[in-house]
Amino acid sequence: MRRLFFIFVISFMLITLPNNHKALAQEAVPDMPKALQVLVDRGAQARYLGKKHGMQGWVTVFKGQEQYYYATPDGKGFLMGLLFDADGTMATVNQVRDLQSQGDGVLDILAVDKKAEPSLEMVKKQTSEEFDYKSPAERMFIDIENSNWIGFGSKNAPVIYSFMDPQCPHCHAFMQDLREGYLDEGLVQVRMIPVGFREETLSQAAFLLASPDSKERWFKYLDGDTNALPAKTTTNTQGVQKNLSLMQAWKFDATPITIYRGKDGKVKLVRGRAGDMNKILADLPSS
């Protein structure tokens, strides 16, 4: 029964902020709790469920995992989980059903993986005092580490970060190089930072960032399946916008741009498709 319940809940999942104003035309949408805004900033899709029993409800999906949140009436706290009526009826499921009736299906595809990573990933914030003694390269690397990325390859392998646009041919070629000679052999872990310079690619990058099967979708897209990365205008793009802001802040003006820390401890940067991946691999610290 529990398995059937989760399948039922997932089947009714849909979320995105823009269409929420249409779905709840008779009810003003309140400000999102700050803790949930952290998720949205990292690329989660979120939607307002409405007010029930004095509490404002929200649903989020991040990397295929859905969560339900309810803000307390005083606005000073929130709960995570399902809401029940006094007679035992699952009020949350009814709220999700109401959203489903509005016809927004963007995240019907996304909310499918119950084994996804935890949805509330809290990023350690660096204070201004901590930055005072760091070089520009070190400040940049901290920003890169805290970007919204998707991991490819063995988690135990040396790490490189790379900004990529879904429709950038040089990004495609670079990823194919990595795919064929390095990722499958567990020689390197690529943390792809998706960005988009046009509305279409921005939506594709956001969809990729939120997907529980990002790796499979990306490789299908590289292999010519354009449907693997739909460009949905209703997809929340805030996570990708943060990545773009990071590029702009450090004056990165093209993709791919790859950043890593060498075995000498220094931060290295490669613009464009790497001409000699073996050279980079030799410069990476051993795992």
Per-residue pLDDT band at 22 (split at 50, 70, 90): very low
| pLDDT, average across residues 207-226 | 92
- Written as six digits, the tokens of 82 are 């399902």
Residue 152 above 90 pLDDT?
yes
CATH of domain 128-283: 3.40.30.10
- What are the structural domain ranges in the chain? 2-108, 128-283
State the Cα–Cα distance between residues 231 and 206, nearest whole angstrom: 9
Per-residue pLDDT band at 12 (split at 50, 70, 90): very low
Between 77 and 123, residue with greater pLDDT = 77
CATH of domain 2-108: 3.10.450.70
| pLDDT, average across residues 235-254 | 89
Residue 67 above 90 pLDDT?
no
| pLDDT, average across residues 115-124 | 34
Same topology, domains 2-108 and 128-283? Answer is no
pLDDT winner (highest mean) among 34-43, 49-58, 159-168, 208-217: 159-168
pTM of the predicted model as reported, rounded to 2 decimal places: 0.62
Per-residue pLDDT band at 27 (split at 50, 70, 90): low
Sheet of strand 78-80, all strands in order from the earlier edge strand to the far edge: 45-52, 55-62, 65-71, 78-80
